[in-house]
Amino acid sequence: MRKQADHDASHPGPGFFMFSSSFAQESFRRAREHGDHRDAFAACLSLPPMKYRLLISSLILSTLSLQAIAETAKSPYSLTVGGGVGFGPRFPGSKKTQFGVGPLLDFQHESGFFASTRRGLGWGGGDEDFSFSLALAARGERSDKARKVLGFGGGGSELTGMGKVPASALGVFSVGGRVANLVELGATLELPLSHRENGRALHLSAGVPLLQTKEDTVTLSGALHVGDGKYLRTYFGVTQQQSTDSGYALYTPKGGLYQADLNLSWNHRIDTHWAVTGVVGVNRLLRDAANSPLAGRKTAPEGGVMVTYTY
């Protein structure tokens, strides 16, 4: 199986999710080299961050490291723990940048079952050329107050009067493939199971390794994010009541492409258990999202560093 999506079941914050890209890709590369394709792509198939959309490829899916399984192929499971620091906009379009820390706990079984703070609860399968994953996860709430958890918030004072966007349970379906034995492609579909008025989203991604050695992998990744009308109206629209309460102009965006990401990641493998990953990148709001009154900043930097240990 292969791996996919950065994604977090609770979505604590921005740059932190970018780690998924390099970890997922590195895990897949190691697993492929050792013939353990099934577990490798399971690492890639996970959910992208809902609030900050730092997903950058089917490799960006989850901050998962399966190096131990890939190396030994003796254990029926892997357990990865870690933590990191990251930065990014408080919410898509926010003028403010926030910094924070985030933990990682990810369990992966050779059967394809996984349970993760980043990917949710699910199962996946496939081979080195095509893989899929089904998961239950969550899209975090967006607040109109500057609340923080571990340094990250799900909104900010810029949204005062906009009200709270409630969290919703998600069904997540991801597929991934490898082209020309080099480019990793992925697609992740988010279907809300609760608060369906928050809308559906589709994330398309691609990643290309620029450098690969036994210890290091440097990857350039990009992603395009698409939302239906409900999604765009929820996160970038302004209703009449919200306009009255917040002072923002009434705005009703249409569904479609709303964001693009470009990231450069570096994964350094210290040994068969320890790894460190650094990511820097930029995200850009597009079309109706970029024209939203809430988009105080259309282009924003993001980044972070994470350390993981795989048992």
Alpha helices, DSSP H only, in the chain? 19-33, 37-44, 67-72, 229-236, 240-246, 287-290
For residue 2, tell me if it sits in a domain. Answer: no
Q: What is the DSSP letter of 182?
A: T
Q: Give the chain's radius of gyration (CA, Å).
A: 18
For residue 3, tell me if it sits in a domain. Answer: no
For residue 237, tell me if it sits in a domain. Answer: yes
For residue 279, count CB atoms less than 10 angstroms from its CB and return exposed for 0-12, middle for 13-18, buried for 19 or more: buried
User: Which pLDDT belongs to residue 153?
Assistant: 52
User: Which pLDDT belongs to residue 27?
Assistant: 44
- Mean pLDDT, the chain, whole residue set: 79
For residue 1, tell me if it sits in a domain. Answer: no
Q: DSSP 3-state assignment of 157?
A: helix
Tokens of 97: 């940048």
Q: 60: domain range? A: 15-310
Do you know the residue count of the chain? 311
User: Which pLDDT belongs to residue 180?
Assistant: 87
User: Which pLDDT belongs to residue 154?
Assistant: 65
For residue 126, tell me if it sits in a domain. Answer: yes
What are φ and ψ of residue 43, in 5° steps?
-65, -30
The tally of domains found in the chain comes to 1
Residues 6 or more apart whose Cβ sits within 8 Å of residue 264: 218, 219, 220, 221, 279, 280, 281
Residue 230, domain CATH: 2.40.160.40
For residue 292, count CB atoms less than 10 angstroms from its CB and return exposed for 0-12, middle for 13-18, buried for 19 or more: buried
Q: Which residues pair with 265 in a beta bridge?
A: 219, 279
For residue 184, tell me if it sits in a domain. Answer: yes
271 HSE (CA, 13 A, CB side) = 3
For residue 4, tell me if it sits in a domain. Answer: no
Q: What is the pTM of this model?
A: 0.80
Q: What share of the chain is helix, strand, coil (3-state, %, to 5)?
A: 20, 45, 35
User: Which pLDDT belongs to residue 172?
Assistant: 96
Mean pLDDT in consecutive groups of 10 residues from the start of the chain, 311 residues: 40 39 42 37 34 35 39 72 92 90 90 90 88 92 72 73 94 93 93 96 96 94 97 98 97 98 96 94 97 97 94 89
- Asked if 287 and 258 count as a contact pair (C-beta separation under 8 A), the reply is yes
Buried b (16+ CB within 10 A) or exposed e, 85-113: bbbbbbbbbbeeebebbbebebbbbbebe
For residue 205, tell me if it sits in a domain. Answer: yes
